[in-house]
């Protein structure tokens, strides 16, 4: 297709056609496919064609074309390009290049046409470069945005950009900022314009362009300045190193222990009961025990959090495995030791949740094949290849890459599966790192010499994400010894993915009879059991049914579980034998929680199924062959019930929150301090600053936001991780913050003394908060139309006590999980940040809720005081205007509602200028609420006014008491008979009430299901404890109700005070629209009533006089009531004709009847015999 036409072909064409074809050929030649440079140079045809064509060289053509595709200027030179990977939390990484131009940085994805992602950053928008990591370059631009790029070495692009853009270095190595004046051109040089009309036009064009680009920012700045008119001074925004919490906390190191072979026989029978212990950075986790084998197969997966701040693991990140023989009741026997070298593994492989991704694997022949990694493998092309080889690769069948080829090293993005030989414990292994009693036993048994270790273990390792499917069943390690070095760096945590485990026990069939009568008294116990025995058992039971072999319980139970799902669900059926003996176990069934179905939606719940009961040995019948029976059960997991507590879904993100932890000041003495930040499901712990009264962190943390109603909490603690002491906190609801506005201040921290309960000030904490919306706030606005909780909380609600128990269990689970992290967050700190006191009996919580309600009520008092001030003549102008308004409403009462609505809108708009300061005030510590104070502790003047008010209230109370005493004296003056009658009536009413209550209690007791007895019921202390638990539950429920009431009142009061700007803006629009509608209706009504009808009536009376109208009305009435014979209409004529016809027909019928009567008489007279003498009269 690229060959030129031959001379023979040209001779056959006409002359004009031949010339045009040559021109067309030369014009279209640059658009043809450009082959590699080496092939062009080696091809004589290409050389001759390029020599004939009046074009620039192919290399120059490709460069200009690629420059235009990158979005740069046409003649702008490229300073350099670097291969990299663009990774964003929650999305698949993009492989491409970073192109450095004179005025811009451009990232262009090169995924062979499968991805067209492109990010361009102008030089003037560049804020800072962060290359503190050896593999990651973070480019901060436009003050709030960050571009994270992964390189093999980030130093080279960093040095090039710093040198060419003349960035300023900071004290932190690898971190530079752009502090050049932005009044210059894009390249940093001062703009110059040529004299004359052309220069003037260029100056005007640049002015219009700059104004257009910065118009939106100027509008935002104007609104920000308007909201800051309350006197708040905004400090400048510092340039700080930024850490993305979601990206770091989601990275996980997975270790899958598959099995072992040829282990040592440690028991007398020539076998062992092996299990594996894994250790990594002070964390430890154990596998299950496989009995009586030397070739065990575990196939268990365990997960460890990847170390923060590392882009590539090194020699210190080895995973240790110790194999032991389980000796029940004694010390375990040591079988062998091995270590997995993780050096070279890239932590960035777990940045995004792994769906099925395409990677390339180089075979021995050098060809490229496409392979499919599973969800835990890393993903992305890391080398360039030609389009032809890629198309050939995509034609190959996709295969599962569960195993790594022998050429794959530790740094491979795929899984690494290998056999590791077991060896003795290294002699240089420090006791602080590896000490345990099992190893001491091994040393004591073989003190004469080292024992020969044999066998090997098969493991598989990879770096993944906490949203991977493998995380669902992975084992979570526990802390065995705090790592002192871990407290010297940033640590990130995340709430576990929790789910509601619902178990419905329907009925049983053919339950074995263990009694002498007609059947057992069965009941079913549902227990959530940790197979490793680390966590305590949680159980609930149904009621028992007398003498039943086919009982019907129909009970439902709810448990809360978290990923990874490693617990077992045990269903135990007992025969109830009363309170004087132990209940007999009939049978049980064990279900793996990880194997249960996950129910989604509101319909089509998993089907019920019959489960066979077995004994402890796993048999379904006893020695006589009698079956234990079956039970009908429905058990499933519901992860949607707590989906509002989870994070990581990039599609559900409404924005990003930046938290600047700067420093503290005002500590009483130099001490060790650290800060803990909580935002939604994410936690961050800053490094310890030791022996300082003014600690500084200067760290920026970034969190994804999925719900604007969430709160961010920044708490300061004193001391190390295990014995941290609470110094105070700053908390703020995210919805109160405006888009892109940075709220920064030195907040006063307070704490409450645990002994005296007094609130004291500790120090100040400097914190900056900024909430940046996505898509201009469209997603955040859409959240206001969604319920705060998932729809299942409303359509399938739990009982109040059940909901409280489930929420408390979720927080308790989180507290235990954080206490086992590295470094740990102790129980006191986590409970404070989780506000755990709401779920416990806490008088301070009740006082706080009451104080919040009083604070809202004080706002209504201010409104009343404002109305009284408007009518008090303290301000003559205001009172005169108010009276004019009242007089206007007297004459036009229909304008009452429009004016009230308009006044409400104006009052709310007047609150807008001081909104920025009110947001800062709202973030201040409010520990004084726990003492029942609705506002901060008063000053001396406020104390004096308060005392005067209290004295006045006491006087009024004394007067009221005196009035009641006088009433009692008057009652005593009544006659004795009247008092006795009243007392008798009261006694009768009280007896009737008690009888009704007793009857209702007996009826409820008779209808209530029979619950199982326990030995605790015979213990009076246990019964008392049960009553105390019920009282505590009632008080806790009251606390929750008070807290919800206070929160609801605060939200209602905050609608007009710009507490949530989007809600207030929408409410004002509704108010103004309603006022306009009422005014419009009033105006339209007046127009039709007074103008249209008035004009019509006046016109009619002008044309016709009133006398004429009266005469016409009278004539019309008489004409309507006239006789039917006078001027009959068509209808009347028809009726008259019908009546006349009917009359004629009636007369004719009568004449015919008379004629027929005369003829009958004549006939009778002719036929009758002659008449005889009359008969004689009768005798008396």
* 43: pLDDT strictly greater than 70: no
Residues 6+ apart with CB under 8 A from 826: 721, 722, 723, 724, 819
Distance of CA 771 to the CA centre of its chain: 16
DSSP reduced 3-state for 95: strand
- Output the six-digit token pair for 833: 């940040």
Short-list 724, 687, 756, CA closest to 830: 724
* 50: pLDDT strictly greater than 50: no
Cis peptide bond N-terminal to 108, omega within 30: no
- Output the six-digit token pair for 29: 């030649």
CA–CA distance, 77 with 92 (Å, rounded to integer): 31
* 703: pLDDT strictly greater than 50: yes
Helices (H), 154-292: 155-165, 197-227, 245-249
Residue 42: its pLDDT value, please? 39
Helix (H) or strand (E) holding 888: helix 876-891
Residue 514: its pLDDT value, please? 83
Per mean pLDDT, which range of 116-125, 373-382, 826-835, 1017-1026 is the poorest?
373-382
Residues 6+ apart with CB under 8 A from 653: 90, 704, 705, 706, 774, 779
Cβ contact 109:115 at 8 Å:
yes
pLDDT (mean) for 1063-1079: 86
Cβ contact 654:708 at 8 Å:
yes
**Which carries the bigger pLDDT value, residue 451 or residue 590?**
590
pLDDT digits (tens, 9 = 90+) for 335-355: 888 999 888 888 775 554 444
Cβ contact 702:243 at 8 Å:
yes
CA-based angle 965:971:973, to the nearest 5? 110
DSSP reduced 3-state for 138: strand
Mark 275-308 as b/e (b = at least 16 C-beta within 10 Å): bbbbbbbbbbbbbebbeeebebebebbbbbbbbb
Short-list 38, 32, 97, 110, CA closest to 385: 110
Q: CB count, 10 Å around CB of 869?
A: 14
- Output the six-digit token pair for 243: 């850490």
Residue 648: its pLDDT value, please? 52
DSSP reduced 3-state for 1002: helix
Cβ contact 522:508 at 8 Å:
yes
Cβ contact 637:596 at 8 Å:
yes
Helices (H), 228-284: 245-249
Percent of the chain exceeding pLDDT 90 equals 12
Indicate the pLDDT class of residue 1, thresholds 50, 70 and 90.
Answer: very low
10 Å CB burial of residue 316 (0-12, 13-18, 19+) is exposed
Rg for the chain, CA atoms, rounded: 45
DSSP reduced 3-state for 220: helix
Mark 342-356 as b/e (b = at least 16 C-beta within 10 Å): beebbbbbbbbbbee
Give the 3-state DSSP-derived string for 601-628, with helices as H, strands as E and coil as C.
CCCCCCCCEEEECECCCCCCECCCCCEC
* 808: pLDDT strictly greater than 50: yes
- Using alpha carbons, list the distances in angstroms from residue 33 to 2, 27, 116, 808, 847: 9, 14, 20, 67, 78
Residue 221: its pLDDT value, please? 63
CA–CA distance, 495 with 518 (Å, rounded to integer): 52
The whole-chain average pLDDT of the chain stands at 75
- Output the six-digit token pair for 1048: 């609801």
Cis peptide bond N-terminal to 564, omega within 30: yes
CA–CA distance, 97 with 110 (Å, rounded to integer): 7
**Which carries the bigger pLDDT value, residue 188 or residue 979?**
979
* CA dihedral of residues 1112, 1113, 1116, 1120 (deg, nearest 10): -170
- Output the six-digit token pair for 849: 């809720």
DSSP reduced 3-state for 704: strand
**Which carries the bigger pLDDT value, residue 665 or residue 1130?**
665
Short-list 520, 473, 926, 923, CA closest to 733: 923
CA–CA distance, 790 with 643 (Å, rounded to integer): 7
**Which carries the bigger pLDDT value, residue 98 or residue 228?**
98
Helix (H) or strand (E) holding 373: strand 368-373
Mark 181-213 as b/e (b = at least 16 C-beta within 10 Å): eeeeebebeeeeeeeeeeeeeeeeeeeeeeeee
DSSP reduced 3-state for 303: strand
- Output the six-digit token pair for 313: 């693991």
pLDDT digits (tens, 9 = 90+) for 398-456: 223 333 333 333 333 468 899 999 988 877 765 434 445 555 555 555 544 466 788 99
Residue bearing tokens 């740094």 = 411
* 260: pLDDT strictly greater than 90: yes
Can you name the residues that pair with 529 across neighbouring β-strands? Answer: 568
Residue 70: its pLDDT value, please? 41
Cβ contact 127:142 at 8 Å:
yes
- Output the six-digit token pair for 831: 């409970």
What is the crossing angle of helices 1020-1053 and 800-819, to 10°? 90
CA–CA distance, 939 with 942 (Å, rounded to integer): 5
* 512: pLDDT strictly greater than 60: yes
Q: Sort strands 696-705 and 242-244 into parallel, antiparallel or unpaired.
A: parallel
Q: CB count, 10 Å around CB of 330?
A: 8
Cβ contact 477:284 at 8 Å:
yes
pLDDT digits (tens, 9 = 90+) for 263-296: 988 888 888 999 999 988 888 888 888 888 999 9
Per mean pLDDT, which range of 229-233, 534-538, 635-639, 1070-1074 is the poorest?
229-233
Residue bearing tokens 């009413």 = 989
DSSP reduced 3-state for 1143: helix
Residues 6+ apart with CB under 8 A from 374: 354, 356, 400, 401, 402, 415
pLDDT digits (tens, 9 = 90+) for 1002-1050: 777 666 555 544 545 545 555 666 667 677 677 777 777 777 787 777 7
- Output the six-digit token pair for 129: 């470069």
Q: CB count, 10 Å around CB of 1116?
A: 10
CA-based angle 648:650:656, to the nearest 5? 85
Residue 61: its pLDDT value, please? 36
- Output the six-digit token pair for 881: 């205007």
CA–CA distance, 687 with 625 (Å, rounded to integer): 65
Residue 182: its pLDDT value, please? 41
CA-based angle 15:18:24, to the nearest 5? 145
- Of 69-73, 323-327, 773-777, 1013-1017, highest mean pLDDT: 323-327
- Output the six-digit token pair for 368: 């490229």
What is the crossing angle of helices 915-922 and 197-227, to 10°? 50
């Amino acid at each position: 297709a690229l060959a030129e036409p031959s001379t023979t072909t040209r001779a056959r064409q006409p002359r004009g056609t031949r010339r045009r074809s040559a021109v067309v050929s030369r014009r279209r030649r640059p658009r043809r496919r450009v082959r590699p440079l080496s092939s062009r140079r080696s091809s004589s045809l290409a050389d001759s064609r390029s020599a004939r064509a009046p074009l620039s060289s192919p290399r120059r053509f490709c460069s200009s074309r690629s420059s235009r595709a990158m979005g740069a200027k046409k003649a702008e030179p490229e300073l350099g390009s670097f291969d990299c990977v663009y990774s964003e939390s929650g999305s698949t990484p993009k492989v491409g290049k970073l192109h450095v131009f004179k005025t811009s940085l451009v990232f262009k994805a090169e995924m062979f046409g499968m991805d067209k992602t492109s990010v361009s950053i102008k030089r003037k928008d560049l804020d800072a470069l962060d290359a503190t990591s050896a593999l990651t370059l973070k480019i901060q631009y436009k003050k709030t945005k960050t571009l994270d790029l992964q390189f093999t070495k980030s130093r080279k692009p960093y040095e090039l950009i710093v040198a060419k853009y003349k960035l300023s270095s900071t004290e932190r190595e690898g971190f530079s900022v752009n502090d050049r004046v932005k009044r210059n051109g894009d390249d940093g040089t001062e703009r110059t314009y040529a004299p004359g009309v052309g220069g003037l036009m260029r100056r005007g064009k640049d002015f219009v362009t700059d104004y257009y680009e910065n118009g939106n920012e100027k509008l935002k700045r104007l609104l920000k300045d308007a909201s800051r008119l309350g006197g708040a001074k905004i400090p400048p925004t510092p340039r700080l190193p930024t850490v993305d919490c979601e990206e770091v906390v989601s990275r996980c190191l997975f270790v899958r222990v598959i099995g072992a072979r040829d282990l040592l026989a440690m028991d007398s029978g020539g076998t062992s009961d092996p299990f594996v212990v894994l250790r990594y950075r002070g964390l430890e986790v154990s596998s299950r025990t496989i009995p009586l084998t030397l070739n065990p197969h575990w196939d268990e997966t365990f997960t460890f959090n990847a170390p923060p701040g590392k882009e590539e693991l090194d020699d210190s990140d080895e995973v240790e495995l110790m194999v032991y023989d389980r000796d029940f009741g004694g010390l375990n026997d040591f079988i062998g030791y091995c270590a997995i070298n993780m050096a070279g593994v890239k932590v960035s492989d777990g940045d995004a949740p792994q769906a099925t991704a395409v990677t390339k694997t180089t075979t021995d022949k050098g060809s490229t094949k496409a392979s499919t990694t599973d969800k835990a493998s890393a993903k992305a092309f890391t080398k360039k290849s030609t389009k032809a080889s890629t198309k050939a690769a995509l034609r190959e069948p996709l295969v599962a890459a569960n195993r790594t080829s022998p050429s794959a090293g530790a740094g491979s993005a795929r899984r690494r599966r290998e056999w590791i030989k077991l060896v003795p414990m290294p002699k240089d292994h420090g006791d602080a790192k590896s000490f345990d009693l099992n190893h001491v036993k091994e040393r004591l048994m073989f003190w004469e010499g080292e024992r020969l270790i044999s066998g090997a273990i098969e493991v598989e390792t990879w770096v993944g994400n906490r949203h991977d499917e493998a995380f669902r069943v992975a084992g979570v390690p526990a802390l065995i010894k705090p790592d002192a070095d871990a407290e010297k760096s940033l640590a990130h945590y995340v709430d576990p993915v929790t789910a509601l485990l619902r178990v419905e026990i329907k009925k049983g069939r053919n339950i074995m009879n263990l009694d002498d009568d007609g059947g057992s008294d069965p009941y079913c116990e549902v227990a959530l059991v940790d197979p490793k025995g680390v966590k305590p058992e949680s159980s609930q039971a149904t009621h028992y049914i007398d003498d039943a072999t086919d009982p019907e319980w129909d009970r439902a139970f709810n448990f809360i579980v978290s990923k990874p799902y490693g617990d077992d669900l045990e269903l135990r059926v007992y025969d109830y034998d009363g309170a004087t003996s132990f209940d007999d176990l009939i049978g049980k069934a064990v279900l793996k929680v990880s194997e249960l179905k996950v129910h989604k939606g509101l319909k089509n719940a998993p089907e019920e199924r019959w489960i066979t009961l077995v004994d402890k040995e796993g048999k379904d019948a006893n020695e006589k062959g009698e079956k234990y029976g079956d039970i009908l059960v429905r058990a499933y997991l519901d992860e949607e019930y707590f989906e509002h507590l989870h994070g990581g879904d990039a599609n559900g993100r409404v924005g990003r929150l930046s938290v600047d932890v700067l420093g503290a000041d005002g500590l009483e003495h130099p001490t060790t301090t650290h800060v803990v930040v909580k935002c939604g499901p994410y936690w961050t712990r800053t490094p310890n600053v030791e022996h300082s009264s003014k600690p500084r962190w200067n760290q920026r943390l970034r969190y994804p936001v999925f719900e604007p109603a969430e709160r961010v909490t920044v708490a300061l603690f004193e001391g190390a991780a295990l014995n941290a002491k609470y110094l105070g906190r700053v908390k703020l609801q995210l919805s109160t913050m405006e888009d892109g506005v940075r709220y920064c201040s030195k907040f006063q921290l307070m704490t409450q003394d645990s002994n005296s309960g007094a609130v004291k000030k500790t120090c100040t904490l400097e914190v900056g908060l900024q909430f940046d919306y996505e898509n201009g706030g469209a997603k955040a606005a859409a959240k206001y139309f969604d319920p705060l909780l998932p729809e299942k909380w409303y359509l399938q609600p739990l009982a109040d006590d059940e909901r409280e128990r489930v929420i408390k269990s979720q927080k308790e689970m989180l507290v235990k999980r954080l206490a086992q992290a590295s470094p740990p967050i102790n129980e006191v700190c986590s409970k404070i940040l989780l506000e755990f006191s709401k779920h416990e009996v806490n008088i301070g919580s009740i006082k706080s809720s009451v104080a919040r309600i009083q604070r809202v009520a004080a706002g209504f008092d201010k409104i009343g005081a404002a109305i009284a001030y408007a009518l008090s003549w303290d301000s003559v102008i205001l009172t005169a205007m108010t009276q004019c308004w009242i007089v206007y409403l007297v004459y036009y009462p229909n304008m009452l509602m429009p004016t009230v609505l308009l006044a409400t809108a104006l009052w709310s708009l007047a609150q807008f200028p001081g909104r920025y300061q009110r947001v800062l005030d709202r973030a201040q510590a409010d520990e004084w609420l726990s003492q029942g104070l609705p506002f901060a502790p008063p000053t001396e003047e406020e104390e004096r006014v308060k005392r005067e008010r209290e004295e006045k209230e006491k006087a009024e109370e004394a007067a009221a008491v005196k009035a009641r005493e006088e009433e009692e004296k008057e009652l005593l003056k009544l006659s004795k008979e009247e008092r006795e009658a009243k007392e008798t009536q009261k006694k009768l009413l009280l007896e009737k009430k008690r009888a009704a209550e007793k009857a209702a209690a007996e009826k409820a007791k008779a209808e209530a299901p029979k619950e199982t007895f326990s030995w605790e019921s015979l213990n009076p202390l246990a019964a008392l404890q049960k009553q105390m638990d019920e009282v505590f539950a009632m008080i806790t429920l009251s606390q929750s109700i008070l807290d919800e009431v206070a929160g609801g009142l605060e939200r209602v009061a905050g609608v007009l005070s710009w507490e949530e700007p989007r809600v207030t803006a929408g409410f004002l629009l509704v108010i103004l629209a309603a006022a306009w509608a009422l005014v419009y209706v009033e105006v339209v009504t007046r127009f039709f009533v007074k103008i249209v009808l008035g004009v019509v009536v006046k016109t009619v009376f002008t044309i016709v006089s009133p006398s004429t109208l009266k005469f016409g009305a009278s004539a019309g009435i008489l004409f309507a009531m006239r006789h039917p014979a006078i001027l009959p209409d068509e209808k009347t004529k028809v009726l008259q004709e019908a009546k006349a016809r009917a009359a004629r027909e009636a007369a004719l019928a009568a004449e015919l009847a008379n004629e027929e009567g005369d003829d009958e008489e004549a006939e009778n007279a002719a036929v009758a015999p002659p008449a005889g003498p009359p008969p004689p009269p009768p005798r008396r």
